[in-house]
A and B are shown apart, each in its own frame.
Chain A
């Protein structure tokens, strides 16, 4: 089979996934108990007024008509107005995405790099004190609840020692000038990013250490040592490269999570991110907002899966998408 065929098949299955997600997004939210007026608990709001509200959301139309409109909106990337804010869903997402990306991209990258490095070092020094330190710090990082770590950091470094700000992603009022604004942003994001790195690196370290311990026990590593290769070359050039594909898969599959946000971190540090938006959209039956956000997440997940496939071939020459003729 040619590699072109492989990619055609992958793209076709990805589109199928998108169609399924698109349909589920519509029907599952409507199957949830209640409707957008359910959480409106106000005795001053009469049943007639609630009907008017549903009408203003377009929910008085037949379900099939609503579905067609929804599909049209999703495919044209015009997601309509959020029920809760009455603002275009795009505008809501655009307001939030920069903070979410500024929080989660650096933390994912730093956690992955730090965790991977420590994992490799722990595997290298198996049985030594350094491995014990990595294993212990990894387990501690992995097991502490995020809100606890974040509140402690906030208390220590924003209140007791006021080195960092208590809240938000910008000072009030914001400073003037591009560089001042950039510096202000970095200053505000430092503590939330640090907290996520502290919480996140442990799982990477433990995972990579286990992978590397297994890989370093393989015959080809023994052969490399027998050939007299340097330890660094064996570790990074041979063993790590062999262990890399599953690490890359996990990295790429973590990327959609970067878009879906981190509700607790956003709440503790008062960051205006996508996580809280998604939570409110689902719990408030905000169909346009929830539908759009989950549709975009599905798209990004599918794209990241394709990217992970492509990266496999790049990092591991043994992997080819051509069918081997026997």
Chain B
């Protein structure tokens, strides 16, 4: 007992010392320019420089060849850059979430008390300390930490004794070799595998998988990791041919992942209910969330769904990675918050060089292979496209709330003519011009949505499939849906809007040539040299100038 207390005290001391050390090197959180002062960018030429190797990216940043480098994941890189007085590091909570998934369709994971015991026995804080040097958050919720819909989660210390006690109470026993015996049976549970990508491809994931297995074995679960090619792993998950797995997800501000992951209708081929949870009360709560009438209903439904998830534990959240970005400190006025590092559109509206330099070099870690807003899928494509195209609504970088952007106001209404339907009203700005000088109008919004619907464009299929009707009256766009859902607001409000005069001449949505990359954003497309860079030029007609 004395020993364990001493051990506990030494752990507490180590944790305090570690936290102090972390803060000594901590990246900045939250410094920002006033939100309403965004104007025309001061940057004239923006180069997105393609540098694929991690070390080369670091050398380029240190040598001043690039000004900003995002998504820095290696702890050694973060520490190295922390020591560089010419570079500022920024850290934000992101939408990343790493889960331990379990196959609830078969024993032993069909027993909720076992899943709860796993929740209890995994020492997430230790994992985060050991594997990420503290640059990640232990995750105790089913939504990422930055999500405004995250309900209060049962955070607790890892407790093996409590987990064993819970199992004992539910009729579980242990064999002489310490392996768990399913209640009412005589034989120990069979050996199981935990699928993980290989250490060569995903070293931290493989390391965490090993630690999870070790903790599970401590509880009496005979499990080992099964490293495999990622495609093979995804294929096995699709076939539901697994015991357990670990996987990381890039989620979003909205809680739409809850329905996709845990509703019984999603346990089909291509669906994301991989764990196979099927419970009527959870389904009901998730349907209430998916078809919420307004924000208040959505928040209440999200809370209720998460409450049930904490009870049923269909999978076990492990950690969420921070998003770390480095910016050379001769650039000032970056917009950063708890939720965003400087690599956002608002920063590009406010960044200013101390010596008035007009060129900015932004590191792109991969080739933007698909610079077509209709089919672009990768984050690298959108790193470029998000500066060219804009949407009806923006997201406040400090609160994550909707803010006016191409639409100066909006309203959501539920009609009830026998069946409840959502109707959205957007009033678009009248002072905006496309990069080619033509005026932006409500007609462009209608044309974009109609084009996406007509061609069943896969990327936007879910956003527009429930639309029944679009009407425009002057600068007002009215969209009626076949069902009721608050989330239609974000699905439509977040669409990139393209010019009607480009879309009417586009036969094949897959082949939008670079000369047709015409948006309303602060930068316009200038050139793309494959393998080298994408060059964007300041949009001198950018509408934010008029906003002041």
Contacts and interface: CB of A to CB of B under 8 A. Distances in A.
B460 to A, nearest CB: 9
Contacts of B55: 151, 154-155, 268
Interface string B238-256: 1000000001011110001
B447 interface: no
B256 A172 contact: no
A212 to B, nearest CB: 38
Interface stretch (B59-67, B102-110, B178-186, B338-346): B59-67
A258 interface: no
A318 interface: no
A4 interface: no
The listed residue with most A CB atoms (<10 A of its CB), out of B56, B65, B238, is B56
B44 to A, nearest CB: 12
A43 B53 contact: no
Contacts of B162: none
Interface string A40-80: 11111111111111011000000000000000000000000
Interface in B20-74: 47, 49-53, 55-56, 59-60, 62-63, 65
A278 interface: no
A22 to B, nearest CB: 23
A272 interface: yes
Contacts of B49: 167-168, 172
Contacts of A283: 230-231
Contact of B53 (A33, A34, A270): A270
A271 B234 CA distance: 30
Contact of A162 (B63, B231, B261): B63
A268 to B, nearest CB: 5
B501 interface: no
Interface stretch (B329-337, B395-403, B477-485, B526-534): B526-534
B439 interface: no
Interface stretch (A7-15, A83-91, A239-247, A301-309): A83-91
Contacts of A41: 234, 247, 249
A47 B256 contact: no
A209 interface: no
Given A39-B231, A53-B458, A56-B458, A270 B56 contact: yes
Interface string B513-548: 000000000000000011111010000000000000
Contacts of B260: 43-44, 46
Interface stretch (B126-134, B265-273, B293-301, B410-418): B265-273
A158 interface: yes
A53 B375 CA distance: 10
The listed residue with most B CB atoms (<10 A of its CB), out of A81, A84, A96, A159, is A159
A155 B531 CA distance: 21
B63 A159 contact: yes
Interface in A118-162: 151, 154-155, 158-159, 162
Interface string A166-184: 1111101110000000000
B256 A44 contact: yes
Given A155-B59, A168-B50, A268-B53, A38 B261 contact: no
A76 B112 CA distance: 59
B270 A172 contact: no
Interface string B268-295: 1111100000000000000000000000
Contact of A158 (B59, B268, B459): B59
Given A48-B462, A272-B530, A85 B52 contact: no
A168 B456 CA distance: 38
Contacts of A56: 458, 510
B50 A270 contact: yes
B234 A38 contact: yes
A267 B53 contact: yes
Given A38-B231, A168-B532, A272-B530, A84 B370 contact: yes
A99 interface: yes
Contact of A166 (B63, B268, B532): B63
For the residues of B in contact with A, the DSSP-based class is mixed
B461 A48 contact: yes
B372 interface: yes
Contacts of A276: 52, 367
Nearest to B266: A47
Interface in B214-236: 230-232, 234-236
Nearest to B512: A86
The listed residue with most A CB atoms (<10 A of its CB), out of B230, B269, B458, B511, is B458
Contact of A270 (B51, B231, B377, B457): B51
B47 to A, nearest CB: 6
B335 to A, nearest CB: 25
Given A168-B532, A268-B56, A270-B531, A33 B50 contact: no
Contacts of A38: 231, 234-235, 238
B47 A172 contact: yes
B425 interface: no
A81 B458 CA distance: 16
Contact of A32 (B52, B231, B361): B231
Nearest to B265: A47
Contacts of A273: 531
Contacts of A172: 47, 49, 361, 532-533
Contact of B531 (A84, A96, A151): A96
Contacts of A158: 59
Contacts of A50: 270, 458
Contact of A81 (B63, B65, B234, B510): B510
B427 to A, nearest CB: 27
Nearest to A94: B530
Nearest to A33: B235
A270 B52 contact: yes
A41 B53 CA distance: 24
B24 to A, nearest CB: 27
B357 interface: no
Interface string B462-484: 10010000000000000000000
Interface of B: 47, 49-53, 55-56, 59-60, 62-63, 65, 230-232, 234-236, 238, 247, 249-252, 256-257, 260-261, 266, 268-272, 361, 367, 369-370, 372, 375, 377, 456-459, 461-462, 465, 510-511, 529-533, 535
14 contacts: A38-B238, A39-B230, A43-B256, A43-B260, A46-B260, A48-B461, A51-B270, A87-B511, A95-B531, A167-B60, A168-B532, A268-B55, A270-B52, A271-B531
8 tightest Cβ-Cβ pairs between the two chains A and B: A272-B531, A33-B235, A43-B260, A47-B270, A53-B458, A85-B369, A49-B461, A34-B235
Given A154-B59, A173-B47, A276-B52, 19 more contacts: A33-B234, A34-B234, A43-B251, A44-B256, A46-B461, A47-B269, A52-B461, A53-B458, A81-B510, A86-B370, A86-B511, A166-B63, A168-B532, A170-B529, A268-B55, A270-B50, A270-B51, A272-B530, A273-B531
